[in-house]
């Protein structure tokens, strides 16, 4: 098969979606105004962004980014290993380590590159990685690159993980065994039962725990310190990784640990750190400024929680199946992919920007519209979105009664 033949069926499917007017991705946003955005001449309410605390437009945060440009310029000029390491990266590392309750941290250029580089260099083919089936793609890429044996367990199922763990420990007595989970799952908004996972360490003291807290950081726990703090298990989690591309209004990522040797090893062996350019200073300064705001204005987090509680109640009143959780990610469960595309398109035409999540981001046939809320959404935004979702859910007959009982 030629390369062209390989690509044709896919490209054809995308073209058809565009012709039918239901292709929803890569929409060119022309301007953002906090929780509102322009796409060409359309003005929409954004309910899909990960800018949970609405800090991307905060004047203090923007000012900090601009100031850093005069000291450091626009780009890093190389990887951190070589010429691109800036004093500001190290200030941020100390600050983040203290923030999540660990001794040290390493800053990367994206969260994806943390998972790829860190998991890829820490583990090898003697080792076993237990992963939640719904873990993010970057985690699985890190696992694959390590060549360790990957053992997925059903989503948030501690019993199943424990059984698989017992088997792994028996079969690989000399290898490293590590459990990797997200804190807040990016598509469902579910929170991992971290306290139950941490209890497995009592029986298996050599078990390592790795937490991807991309969506928990700045949102969960006291002061937004994340899901480990929320569950009271920070000291039992060996690695906490996070991204700056969500609540921290930037891009970039980090991994934190209490172990100096492991940090030093990762710093010199993570391929994505060594062979990729450093995070630009303006992004670093943005994150530092966001951490200041978080400390000064904890009420932002409370406001986000109040908004998401209100939306969950609103969805329930409409009759949608909503799982209990306190995260700002609230999926509208649609089912068939085609129906999700149509629903998202109609939301768009009615001034609401939210995207469908389909396989492989979610299991096949379980497409959702991933809605996510921000602490800067105003009451008029929430009222309008709930009214629009209600109208469209009626039209498309989307109700919890359409879902299997166990899911409703």
**Residue 287 CB, nearest approach to ligand PMP (Å):** 11
Judged by CB under 6 A, which of 146, 245, 283, 371 binds ligand PMP?
Answer: 245
Q: Does 132 bind ligand PMP (CB under 6 A)?
A: no
Q: Which is nearer to ligand PMP, 374 or 392 (CB)?
A: 374
User: How many CA atoms lie within 13 Å of 200's alpha carbon, on the beta-carbon side?
Assistant: 24
Question: Is the omega angle on the peptide bond into residue 49 within 30 degrees of 0, that is, cis?
Answer: no
Q: Which is nearer to ligand PMP, 188 or 234 (CB)?
A: 188
C-beta of residue 321 within 8 angstroms of C-beta of residue 408: yes
Q: Burial of 305 by CB count in 10 Å (0-12 exposed, 13-18 middle, 19+ buried)?
A: middle
# residues contacting ligand PMP (CB under 6 A): 14
Judged by CB under 6 A, which of 93, 132, 134, 182 binds ligand PMP?
Answer: 182
C-beta of residue 187 within 8 angstroms of C-beta of residue 331: yes
The sheet that has 42-46: what strands, in order across it? 31-33, 36-39, 42-46, 352-353
Judged by CB under 6 A, which of 49, 56, 68, 110 binds ligand PMP?
Answer: 110
Q: How far apart are the first and last CA of the chain?
A: 45
Judged by CB under 6 A, which of 51, 58, 212, 238 binds ligand PMP?
Answer: 212
- Residue with the closest Cβ to ligand PMP? 111
Judged by CB under 6 A, which of 243, 270, 282, 283 binds ligand PMP?
Answer: 243
Which residues lie closer than 8 Å to 348 by C-beta, 6 or more apart?
Answer: 24, 27, 42, 44
Q: Does 138 bind ligand PMP (CB under 6 A)?
A: yes
**Residue 59 CB, nearest approach to ligand PMP (Å):** 24
244 in helix, strand or coil?
A: coil
Judged by CB under 6 A, which of 102, 136, 333, 370 binds ligand PMP?
Answer: 136
Q: Which is nearer to ligand PMP, 118 or 165 (CB)?
A: 118
Judged by CB under 6 A, which of 186, 308, 327, 375 binds ligand PMP?
Answer: 186
State the alpha helices, DSSP H only, in 189-232: 194-203, 227-231
**Residue 142 CB, nearest approach to ligand PMP (Å):** 10
Q: Does 300 bind ligand PMP (CB under 6 A)?
A: no
Q: Does 214 bind ligand PMP (CB under 6 A)?
A: yes
Name the helix (H) or strand (E) containing 344: helix 337-349
State the alpha helices, DSSP H only, in 222-280: 227-231, 260-269, 271-274
Residues that bind ligand PMP (CB under 6 A): 110-112, 115, 136, 138, 182, 186, 212, 214, 243, 245, 251, 253
């Amino acid at each position: 098969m030629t390369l062209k033949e390989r690509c044709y069926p896919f490209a054809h499917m995308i073209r058809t979606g565009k012709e039918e007017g239901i292709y929803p991705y890569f929409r060119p946003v022309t301007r953002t105004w906090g929780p509102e955005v322009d796409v060409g001449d359309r003005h929409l309410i954004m309910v899909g962004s990960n800018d949970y605390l609405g800090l991307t437009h905060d004047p203090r945060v923007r000012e900090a980014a601009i100031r850093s440009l005069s000291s450091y310029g626009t780009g890093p000029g190389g990887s951190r290993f070589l010429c691109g390491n800036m004093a500001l990266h190290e200030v941020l590392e100390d600050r983040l380590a203290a923030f999540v309750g660990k001794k040290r941290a390493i800053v990367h250029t994206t969260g994806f590159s943390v998972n790829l580089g860190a998991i890829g260099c820490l583990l090898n083919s003697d080792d076993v990685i237990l992963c939640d089936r719904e873990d993010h793609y970057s985690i699985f890429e890190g696992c694959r690159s390590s060549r360790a044996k990957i053992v997925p367990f059903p989503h948030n199922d501690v019993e199943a993980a424990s059984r698989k763990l017992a088997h792994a420990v028996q079969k690989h007595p000399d290898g490293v065994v590590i459990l990797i989970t997200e804190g807040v799952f990016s598509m469902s908004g579910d929170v991992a039962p971290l306290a139950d996972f941490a209890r497995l360490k009592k029986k298996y003291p050599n078990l390592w725990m790795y937490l991807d807290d991309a969506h928990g950081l700045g949102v969960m726990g006291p002061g937004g310190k994340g899901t480990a703090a929320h569950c009271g298990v920070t000291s039992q989690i060996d690695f906490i990784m996070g991204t700056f591309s969500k609540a921290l209004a930037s891009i970039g990522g980090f991994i934190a640990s209490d172990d100096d040797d492991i940090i030093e090893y990762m710093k010199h062996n993570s391929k994505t750190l060594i062979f990729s350019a450093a995070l630009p200073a303006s992004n670093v300064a943005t994150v530092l400024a966001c951490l200041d705001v978080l400390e000064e204005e904890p009420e932002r987090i409370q406001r986000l929680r109040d908004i998401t509680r209100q939306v969950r109640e609103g969805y329930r009143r409409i009759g949608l199946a909503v799982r209990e959780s306190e995260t700002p990610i609230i999926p509208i469960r649609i089912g068939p992919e085609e129906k999700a595309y149509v629903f998202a398109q109609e939301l768009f035409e009615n001034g609401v920007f939210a995207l469908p999540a389909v396989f492989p981001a979610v299991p096949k046939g379980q497409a959702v519209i991933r809605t996510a809320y921000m602490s800067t959404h105003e009451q008029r935004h929430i009222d309008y979105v709930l009214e629009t979702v209600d109208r469209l859910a009626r039209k498309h007959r989307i109700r919890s009664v359409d879902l299997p009982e166990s899911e409703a």
